DNA sequence: ACTTCGACCTGTTGGC
DNA sequence: TGCCAACAGGTCGAAG
């Protein structure tokens, strides 16, 4: 489900319901996520107020008085705002219940997600400290990618999906941004010109911003925190469209695998 | 330092 | 209809 636009959509959806509200109780039904949920979450978070909900890459950060929740949705995770007494179903692993009688519910069938409690600055956490640039920040430029990619033999697609370089570019939007920039996903990152990196960075920003504006991409069952689907799927040009004609030139879109991930591109427009 | 690959899980899809 | 393999929005960490 979640790439950066879906995470951002989630952040915007939950923020007004939990910021400035005090946590009453934390219910952990299944602590075995990517890493086991620490008991400290259940014991320390109650009675603290959430002061902000921010995002770093695909991590959501819930800042409390004396600590923070670091939350990742993994591949199938989802957050919803529900009435505090809402019946829990099979994959509803965690509830954080607030003083306004609402509940922030974490649901994740595959359990690749993570919920981590830290007493320190969450940005200093080992998982976050090494992250690369934010794609929508001004620091993320063609020059930056060009400099970081010299001597790199890895494909450009894997390079822009590497969170130590730039965060938040997942498989859908990597495919889409490369199509928009007219770059073949197999190209060695170290062989791309600074000019093409400028075009690529522009495309990444555009694709992500457009997807955020549409509330993310709904593939199977992504819903924002209030239950609405994302509409960006209508704008996808290559992802999930192998074998179909390119929207620009009608050439049959080709599918290959890069880094074990499905990669779709137009062999003519992206050469 | 870089690259590749297995691992973590469940649910859905497509081929036979 | 049933079965089974392959695949799915992520990314860490080990091994080469």
A6: the nucleotide nearest its CA (via C1') is: C9
Q: Which residues of A are catalytic?
A: 2-3, 58, 261
A226 CA, C3 C1': separation in Å? 38
A153 CA, B3 C1': separation in Å? 9
Find and give the residue nearest to C7, measured CA to C1': A262
Q: Which nucleotides of C are covered by protein (CB under 7 A)?
A: 7-13
A240: the nucleotide nearest its CA (via C1') is: C8
Give me the sign of the Cα torsion angle A3, A116, A66, A130: negative
Q: pLDDT in tens for each of the 271 residues of chain A?
A: 689 999 999 999 999 999 999 999 999 999 999 999 999 999 999 999 999 999 999 999 999 999 999 999 999 999 999 999 999 999 999 999 999 999 999 999 999 999 999 999 999 999 999 999 999 999 999 999 999 999 999 999 999 999 999 999 999 999 999 999 999 999 999 999 999 999 999 999 999 999 999 888 767 656 677 777 787 888 899 999 999 999 999 999 999 999 999 999 999 999 9
* pTM of the shown model: 0.96
Asked if strand C contacts A242 at the CB level, meaning under 7 A, the answer is: no
A258: the nucleotide nearest its CA (via C1') is: B4
Residue A5: its pLDDT value, please? 92
């Amino acid at each position: 489900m979640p790439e950066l636009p879906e995470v951002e959509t989630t952040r915007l959806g939950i923020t007004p319901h939990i910021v400035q509200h005090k946590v009453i109780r934390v219910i952990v039904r299944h602590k075995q996520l990517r890493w086991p949920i620490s008991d400290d979450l259940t014991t320390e978070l109650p009675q603290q107020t959430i002061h902000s909900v921010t995002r770093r890459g695909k991590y959501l950060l819930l800042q409390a008085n004396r600590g923070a929740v670091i939350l990742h949705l993994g591949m199938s995770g989802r957050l919803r705002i529900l009435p505090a007494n809402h019946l829990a179903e099979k994959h509803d692993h965690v509830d954080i219940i607030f003083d306004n009688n609402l509940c922030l519910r974490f649901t994740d069938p595959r359990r690749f997600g993570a919920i981590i409690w830290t007493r320190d600055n969450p940005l200093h956490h080992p998982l976050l400290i090494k992250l690369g640039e934010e794609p929508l920040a001004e620091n993320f430029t063609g020059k930056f990618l060009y400099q970081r990619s010299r001597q790199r033999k890895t494909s450009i697609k894997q390079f822009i999906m590497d969170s130590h370089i730039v965060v938040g570019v997942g498989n859908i939007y990597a495919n889409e941004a490369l199509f928009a920039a007219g770059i073949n996903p197999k190209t060695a990152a170290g062989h791309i010109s600074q000019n093409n990196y400028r075009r690529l960075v522009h495309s990444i920003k555009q694709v992500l911003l457009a997807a955020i504006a549409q509330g993310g991409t709904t593939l199977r069952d992504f819903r924002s925190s209030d239950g609405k689907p994302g509409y960006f799927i209508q704008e996808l040009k290559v992802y999930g469209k192998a074998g179909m004609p390119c929207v620009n030139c009608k050439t049959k879109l080709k599918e290959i695998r890069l880094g074990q991930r499905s990669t779709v591109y137009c062999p003519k427009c992206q050469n």
